[in-house]
A and B are shown apart, each in its own frame.
Chain A
Amino acid sequence: MYVYDELDRTIVAERVAEFRDQVGRRISGELTEEEFKPLRLMNGVYLQLHAYMLRIAIPYGTLASRQLRMLAHVGRRYDRNYGHFTTRQNIQFNWIKLEDLPDAAADLASVGLHGIQTSGNCVRNITTDQWSGVAPDEIEDARIWAEVLRQHTTLHPEFSFLPRKFKIAVTAAPHDRAAVKVHDIGLRLHRNGAGETGFEVLVGGGLGRTPFIAKSIRPFLPKRDVLSYVEAVLRVYNQFARRDNLYKSRIKILVHDLGAEAFAREVEAEWQHIKDGPLALDPAVVAEIAARFRYPDYARLNDNPPEVVQLRKADRRFDVWHGNAVAKHKVPGYAIVTLSLKPEGGPPGDATSDQMDAIADLADRYSFGEIRVGHEQNLVLPHVAQRDLGELWRALDAIGVATPNIGLVSDIISCPGLDYCSLANARSIPIAQELTRRFRDLGLARELGRLHINISGCINACGHHHVGHIGILGVEKNGEEFYQITLGGRADERAELGTLLGPAVPYGKVADIVEEVVAAYLELRERPNETFLETVKRLGVEPFKERVYATH
């Protein structure tokens, strides 16, 4: 866990007081909506289709149990007993009243949570690998660097009115679990030939209307320079990006228009002015930030305790869950456990207040009070002693978060879509719900192997449809919901955008088409362990298209 200091607590407390005043002035009519809207957005408050929505940042996806309990409380007291975990390690409450928001913000602030910079044209919540600090393959804990950047970009006056929103993601493992290549800046910590650690800097990635995979503009940046270099990127973006056209104002458009090399030259030139100034990181400052990440006092334990080995043999359901949701931890005798927020028929990423409370209790009992939130809209208990896995599984199963579908076909990423969102053209969640019913057979799901379905209800792509192995995008045609389907996208270290399968299909046909695509994969794959992505890569989308459009 990271322990916030007095400065953070003061910033959040001051913001709550300021926001309370602003809400009061709006309700009294002293502020017009035009005046108030940018103020509420700075605090993560949107007006959606049928209510206000509050978005709360979960920096680098790390939550303490008391913070999760507070989220449960906010859901219960001010909302409708549930929250929605998003694709950017945030949580959203969909039914909150404006008049209740100052009290909700004060409650959240009491545990260091807030909605600051979860909206608006600023640097948004900085995201990372949800397994940071515990993943066996990581070089170091990516959250330290996310925290360095969080501190620098919070309320940074120069970057409070950027041309458009700005998203940064950090990974420090060879396997990218943070989707850094589809962010405005992706930082990939790695080791160079000399054995030193530093960052590859990727810029201009993003989804939305004009999707791009990020371009690498610096293969290796020493860690001391990460703040100054990010500052230089932001300055070049701030200076040159378009402000006249909302659709062309993201950094991806600038990088594309200038070309990555020209953009990199601009950044390098800007960087020369500041690289040796106050932004050069003092190792003592980094060490101080790193020291505020408290790691558990792990016991000395062995891997594969006999009681777990035995239970896996004795109980098929436990064995299946273990094979799916339990991952190797960097400390012997411990495990990383992913909790599925994708039950059959459930809205992806939703958790009830009761579930949140129960998970917080289980985190206290089994995971040193810590929970993680992943961009795939699932939760993680990052420090579970393997000997406790049997007990934990029974408890997770009892509250409905032990569906063994992590990374499988029913582990669907979905935006809220037209059921909530004022930007959406089509519904996402009911499509996801229907697909989880169609693929309820977990035996088939395991047979299919890793297969990510991502759904967005509009071109803004909050559901990351471009990088779904199967991507589904809702569009509107003559007042009806239609869906474009893409195949072959991926968000990891080999990120790629999916290829359009064919003409958009109506709402009622989407699940049938996805079933056809999956059936085609089973027929077309060369061997049982050829993944869906490998088959699409080998054959392209044509054989899938022929089959799907011949049948429908």
Chain B
Amino acid sequence: MTSPLQQKLKITGPVVVTANRLRDGAVVYRTVEGQWSPRLDQAAVVSTAPAATELLAAAVVDDVSAVGAYVAPVRIGADGRPEPGNLRETIRHAGPTIASAITTEI
């Protein structure tokens, strides 16, 4: 398995570090305080490769709270809060787009 830290990061805009919570698989984001939160608006947002690498390195060390950490793009909304930067991240954040799927808030 290639460690995410061995991959060269190419950052073209604001990004966050995201992963899945170990116990239940829920989508979580790395916060400024070095914790994991299910809320994207609590995520630490960085815009440079060194900052993203540092954020990811700290996240990967914590192998027990969350798994599969990686850098994901975000857009900054009109209210200044981060929003998912692509469809995959939108679905991870908001859940399936299937109208009739039985989903509940995590």
Q: What residues of chain A have their CB less than 8 Å away from a CB belonging to chain B?
A: 26-27, 29, 32-34, 37, 47-52, 80-82, 97-99, 345-347, 350, 352, 418-420, 427, 429-430, 433, 479, 481
Contact = CB atoms under 8 A, between A and B. Distances in A.
Contacts of B23: 27, 97-99
A418 B91 contact: yes
Nearest to A53: B25
Contacts of B25: 47-48, 50-52, 97-98
B78 to A, nearest CB: 21
A50 B100 contact: no
A29 B26 contact: no
Interface string B51-90: 0000000000001100110000000000000000011100
Contacts of A33: 22, 63, 67-68
B14 to A, nearest CB: 15
Nearest to B96: A419
Contact of B63 (A29, A47, A345): A29
Contacts of A48: 25
10 contacts: A34-B1, A47-B20, A50-B92, A51-B25, A52-B24, A80-B102, A98-B24, A347-B98, A419-B96, A429-B101
B101 A29 contact: no
A488 B43 CA distance: 48
A50 B26 CA distance: 5
A347 B100 CA distance: 8
Given A49-B91, A433-B99, 16 more contacts: A47-B68, A48-B25, A50-B25, A51-B24, A52-B25, A81-B102, A97-B23, A98-B25, A99-B24, A346-B100, A350-B101, A419-B96, A430-B97, A430-B98, A433-B98, A479-B86
B45 interface: no
B68 A429 contact: no
Closest 6 CB pairs of A and B: A419-B96, A97-B24, A51-B25, A29-B64, A52-B25, A33-B67
A160 B97 CA distance: 37
A37 B67 CA distance: 10
B63 to A, nearest CB: 5
A98 B23 CA distance: 5
Nearest to A82: B102
Contacts of B88: 49, 418
Interface centre among B26, B64, B101, B103 (most CB of A within 10 A): B101
Contacts of B96: 419-420, 429
B104 interface: yes
A49 B92 CA distance: 6
Contacts of B22: 26-27, 33, 98
A352 B92 contact: no
Interface residues of B, number: 28
A97 B26 CA distance: 9
A481 B98 contact: no
Contacts of B27: 49-50
Nearest to A34: B1
Interface of B: 1, 20, 22-27, 63-64, 67-68, 86-88, 91-92, 95-104, 106
Contact of B87 (A26, A52, A352, A481): A481
A479 B84 CA distance: 13
A26 B86 CA distance: 31
Contacts of B26: 50-51
A30 B58 CA distance: 19
Contacts of B106: 50
A34 B3 CA distance: 10
B84 to A, nearest CB: 12
Contacts of B97: 419, 427, 430
A418 B92 CA distance: 9
A80 B103 contact: yes
Nearest to A29: B64
B98 A50 contact: no
A51 B103 CA distance: 12
A345 B24 contact: no
A346 B98 CA distance: 9
A418 B104 CA distance: 18
A479 B25 CA distance: 25
A345 B99 CA distance: 9
B67 to A, nearest CB: 5
Interface centre among B22, B63, B98 (most CB of A within 10 A): B98
Given A97-B25, A98-B22, A98-B24, A47 B67 contact: yes
A479 B88 CA distance: 9
A496 B23 CA distance: 44
A48 B95 CA distance: 12
B87 A50 contact: no
Nearest to B27: A50
Contacts of A27: 22-23, 64
Contacts of B86: 479
Contacts of A433: 98-100
Contacts of A49: 27, 88, 91-92
Contact of A418 (B64, B87, B102, B103): B87
A516 B8 CA distance: 45
A352 B91 contact: no
A479 B26 CA distance: 24
Interface centre among A32, A34, A49 (most CB of B within 10 A): A49
A50 B102 contact: no
A45 B102 CA distance: 21
Contacts of B67: 33, 47
Contacts of A52: 24-25
B65 to A, nearest CB: 9
A98 B1 CA distance: 21
A50 B104 contact: no
Contacts of A420: 96
Contacts of A97: 23-25
Contacts of B100: 345-347, 433
A81 B101 CA distance: 10
